[in-house]
Amino acid sequence: MEINMKQVAIIGAGVSGLTVAHMLAKKGYSTTIFEKESQPGGLIRCKRINGSLFHICGGHIFNSKRQDVLEWFWSIFNRDVEFSKANRNSIVFMENGLKIPYPIENHMYFFDEKIQKEFIDDLIKISQKTNNSPQNFGDFLKQRFGETLYRLYFKPYNEKIWRKDLNSVPLSWLEGKLPMPTVTEMIYNNINHVEEKAFVHSTFWYEKKNGSQFLADKLAEGLNIKYNTPINSIEYIDNKWNINKMIFDYVIFCGNIKDLPTFVTGLNLQKYKEDIEKLEYHGTTSVFCKIDSNPYSWIYQPSKQHESHRIICTGNFAESNNAEGIMTATIEFTDYINEEDIKENLKKMPLNPQYITHCYNKYTYPIQNKDTRKIIQDLKSYMKQFNFFFTGRFANWEYYNMDIAMGAAMDLCKTL
């Protein structure tokens, strides 16, 4: 380990803040994490309700395409002892009760003859078109999958999540998250009945005990974390940072960038305030339910009969997630929905979900527009001069998964 006397404050003990602390510890920095909640994890936090595990912000599973992230992750966790490897087994429940295995475009033979023929016509049209360069999410989906699948599934499902016309959703920040099958692949997969589990990224790792809270708790072990400590003011004074009367050389902010202009004193962030206030986002209401036994991991719900878009059968991810004799799941609704409406919605949903509890998180999905990355980058460059850095889903305003958040934190720490 290098020796380094720099004092570093990290705001937030989510995946990003915890990763930063580990990386900086390797470099010999002394770190203090300030966390407003009483436990680590941020969006990946879980709690036990009557013996079953509630992922308070949606079920979280781990996987990564980044080798350096995987190497670091598995240097901390014992894969064979602490995790199970699971196959994705997802399904789309259509409006009329039809169940189509996921990904839907590979299972068009489940539809009736008319839809199958329309889909074939769509594929012919797609393959005849050249120079496709979609300008927005809606165009992308239509050009990639054709009008029929767009109408039946992609449009209604995604509009439940994004709550806006998909033609006004920009593409840039969905990179790496979009399905990219070619026409040849779709035809091949339909002819050969290729299932989801045959795909490279259709497996995931899941904690045998305590779900993603286990991950957060273990990452937090040995770190200097001050819980129940919301930071509302960060003062730049004499080339150092004063947080809660403690003096730091560096600050790594892993909270929500919307807080920065009001938190930071001693520097003038007025220029950035208006742009940051305008950043758009969605929240999620996660509803914890008892549900009928089923073999699924994710259930996608394009149906307009109810508002929820996704059921995550977290009870199927690990036996220890369910109290004895019951099966549990987390059902996601975009933005706020009250308990009465939740219960009305549950009545119309498949697999007989029975309400246990729910949790609303105001910030879960950052939304970018064409200027967002520039706004964030400008603020980053400005703050960097004062040894103030930031990384994380809502600090960078990026649609990160855990592994990408870890990767971004690792990249930042390499520069320090």
Ligand X SMILES: Cc1cc2nc3c(=O)[nH]c(=O)nc-3n(C[C@H](O)[C@H](O)[C@H](O)COP(=O)(O)OP(=O)(O)OC[C@H]3O[C@@H](n4cnc5c(N)ncnc54)[C@H](O)[C@@H]3O)c2cc1C
Largest CA distance in the chain: 74
**Strand locations in 233-317, DSSP E?**
234-237, 240-243, 246-248, 250-253, 264-265, 280-290, 298-300, 310-312
Pick the binder of ligand X from 13, 23, 141, 215 (CB under 6 A).
13
Is residue 207 within 8 Å of residue 318, measured between CB atoms? yes
Pick the binder of ligand X from 52, 284, 297, 308 (CB under 6 A).
284
Is residue 206 within 8 Å of residue 317, measured between CB atoms? yes
Under DSSP, the state recorded for 14 is B
CA distances from residue 175 to 68, 180, 397, 400, 401 in whole angstroms, order as listed: 20, 10, 14, 11, 12
Structure tokens that stand for 319 in this block? 């036996």
Q: Among 37-45, 89-97, 115-123, 169-177, which window interacts with ligand X (CB under 6 A)?
A: 37-45
Pick the binder of ligand X from 15, 299, 327, 349 (CB under 6 A).
15
Residue 366: CB atoms within 10 Å: 21
Pick the binder of ligand X from 58, 261, 302, 407 (CB under 6 A).
58
Among residues 301, 351, 300, 292, which one has the least CA distance to residue 95?
Answer: 301
Pick the binder of ligand X from 8, 9, 10, 12 (CB under 6 A).
12
216 binding ligand X? (CB under 6 A): no
**146 vs 407, beta carbon nearer ligand X:** 407
Pick the binder of ligand X from 10, 20, 42, 206 (CB under 6 A).
42
Compute the distance between CA of residue 372 and CA of residue 381 in angstroms, rounded to an integer: 14
255 binding ligand X? (CB under 6 A): yes
**34 vs 214, beta carbon nearer ligand X:** 34
Pick the binder of ligand X from 27, 36, 47, 343 (CB under 6 A).
36
**106 vs 297, beta carbon nearer ligand X:** 297
358 binding ligand X? (CB under 6 A): no
199 φ, ψ (degrees, to nearest 5) = -85, 150
Binding mask 367-396 for ligand X (x = CB under 6 A): -------------------------xxx--
Binding mask 173-212 for ligand X (x = CB under 6 A): ----------------------------------------
**13 vs 149, beta carbon nearer ligand X:** 13
Nearest distance, CB of residue 303 and ligand X, angstroms: 19
Helix (H) or strand (E) holding 54: strand 52-55
303 binding ligand X? (CB under 6 A): no
Place of tokens 């496709």: 132
Strands 280-290 and 354-367, sheet pairing? antiparallel
Q: Among 57-65, 95-103, 113-121, 319-327, which window interacts with ligand X (CB under 6 A)?
A: 57-65
- What are the start-end ranges of the H helices in 150-284? 155-162, 183-191, 211-220, 260-263, 270-278
**232 vs 270, beta carbon nearer ligand X:** 232
Question: Contact positions toward ligand X, by CB under 6 A?
Answer: 11-17, 34-37, 42-44, 57-58, 60-62, 230-231, 254-256, 259, 284, 332, 364, 392-394, 400-403, 405
